Amino acid sequence: MVKRHTISAEEIAHQRALCEEIFERINASRAHPLAMVDTYGCQQNEADSEKIRGYLAEMGYGFTQNEFEADVIVVNTCAVREHAEMRVLGNVGALNHTKKAKPEQIIAVCGCMVQQEHMTEKIKKSYPIVDLVFGPHELWRFPELLLDVMTRHKRVFATEKNDGAVTEGIPLKRDGKVKAWLSIMYGCNNFCTYCIVPYVRGRERSRLPEDIVAEARQLVAEGYKDITLLGQNVNSYGKDLDSETDFADLIRMVNDIPGDFLIRFMTSHPKDATEKLFRTMAECEKCTHQLHLPVQAGSNRILKAMNRHYDREKYLTQVKLARQYMPDLVLTTDIIVGFPDETEEDFADTLSLCEQVRFDAMFTFIYSKRVGTPAASMLDPYTREEKQKHFDRLTEVANRISGEKHAAYIGTHQRVLIDGETGRNEYNLSARTNGGRLVHLKDDPKLIGQFRNVVITGGNTWALYGEIE
């Protein structure tokens, strides 16, 4: 087991003191300084950006989405797929215009993408407008790094390789007042052959249960109604702690907090999903009957090549068991198409699994080669065009099943949480069912943050439509 490393309270206090120093510096030189945080990738990246905004707020920055207005721009990146990286680099390159218009502007690029050595070198050589680069492990000392840029007037790169640490006490500035991300652990130990995450996020580190529960309790006190517990593999929670508390136990602890709110979580790895978890989900009234359980492929040969540590039969058994405990379970998944040497027969196995399970939604991706992963060196004789044909066939199946699933909701009565506005005149409000299904409504925006009973009047592949009863 990797030795657990914790950033001390004194170190975090020092970083927050540096926020005060930056506050004095920038407020002495300009009025109403603004920052922009641009986030790519997963929910954990969203949670990381909340910490970055928290630090920036303590430094005295307000926030804008206009890059020409911003004094500091932070781009928080993703490394899971090549497309995400190319989009990031394109958007960073476009900031040349803002830098020319505002030479004193500080541009920072952080997150998973820059934890890869070749991407850091690319930014260093090809993107001179970038002043600061730091990986996920260095986020906790963002004030120190930013002050270094401000005082030394030179580029700063902080992407040292390590297994990461656990930090508490970093200030947060969350988006919205209804839904909240709550990180319970960081990193991953699974080393799926296609995935770069363990290399950039480090090994699994769990927060202490008492710290998680305290944060959840504070969120409820602040009025948040939808709390999502985050981890690369939440089912592994607690394995690195000197504690008997596992993920199912943690759900019960959060469930015991007084208040009317929902508990969601992601992501679950099938190799660690247990009957205890499914039973706990069924017994805890605040835990939603929503499970994202990435299968990735329906072929045992491909699952073994992916190093997923389960087979098709085990996955189907888990699905059956989860639905026995929760007949109304909303089940979603991730699937990779075109993994190296995936044959027509392998793909047929994936299609048949999807037809058998009938997922409520499938998030489908064409395999993206990641430098440094074992899959990157595997024989891959199939063309992008061949993979695209498989992807299109899978998408058709996914959309058909999702549409059929949504059609079955019409005429039913659902309790939903109204969580935001759509920006449209018709069906101006968005809401979520217990199972996380999107429902569009038309009513008073004052209802945002409230639970309401609705009747479902229509639906399509992507959403439901309803009326408040």
Specify the domain boundaries for CATH 3.30.750.210 within the chain. 179-288
Strands 156-158 and 179-183: unpaired
Residue with tokens 């990986």: 135
pLDDT of amino acid 30? 77
Pairwise CA distance, residues 143 & 154, whole Å = 15
Angle formed by the axes of helices 209-221 and 247-255, nearest 10° = 30
Query: Which ranges in the chain are annotated with CATH 2.40.50.140?
Result: 413-468
9-158 folds as Rossmann fold (3.40.50)
In CATH, the number for domain 179-288 is: 3.30.750.210
Asked if 437 contacts 412 with a C-beta cutoff of 8 angstroms, the reply is no
Phi-psi region of 220 (alpha: psi -120 to 50; beta: other; left: phi over 0): alpha
**pLDDT tens digit at each of 469 positions of the chain:** 456 789 999 999 999 999 999 999 988 777 789 999 999 999 999 999 999 999 999 999 999 999 999 999 999 999 999 989 999 999 999 999 999 999 999 999 999 999 999 999 999 999 999 999 999 999 999 999 999 999 998 999 999 888 889 999 999 999 889 999 999 999 999 999 999 999 999 999 999 999 999 999 999 999 999 999 999 999 999 999 988 999 999 999 999 999 999 999 999 999 999 999 999 999 999 999 999 999 999 999 999 999 999 999 999 999 999 999 999 999 999 999 999 999 999 999 999 999 999 999 999 999 999 999 999 999 999 999 999 999 999 999 999 999 999 999 999 999 999 999 999 989 999 999 999 999 999 999 999 999 999 999 999 999 999 999 9
CATH for the stretch 413-468: 2.40.50.140
**CA nearest neighbour of 76 among 114, 116, 105, 117:** 114
- The values of phi and psi at residue 399, to 5°, are -65, -40
What is the rounded CA–CA span in Å between residue 290 and residue 263? 10
CA–CA distance, 270 with 435 (Å, rounded to integer): 19
Q: Contact, 200 vs 136, CB < 8 A?
A: yes
Phi, psi of 201 (to 5 degrees): -100, -15
Q: pTM of the prediction?
A: 0.95
Residue 283's SS3 state is: helix
Comma-separated ranges of CATH 3.40.50.12160 domains in the chain:
9-158
The CATH number given to 290-408 is 3.30.750.200
Ranges of CATH 3.30.750.200 domains, the chain: 290-408
CA distances to 16, 45, 83, 332 from 41, in Å: 27, 6, 11, 18
Cα separation, 115 vs 162, in Å, equals 10
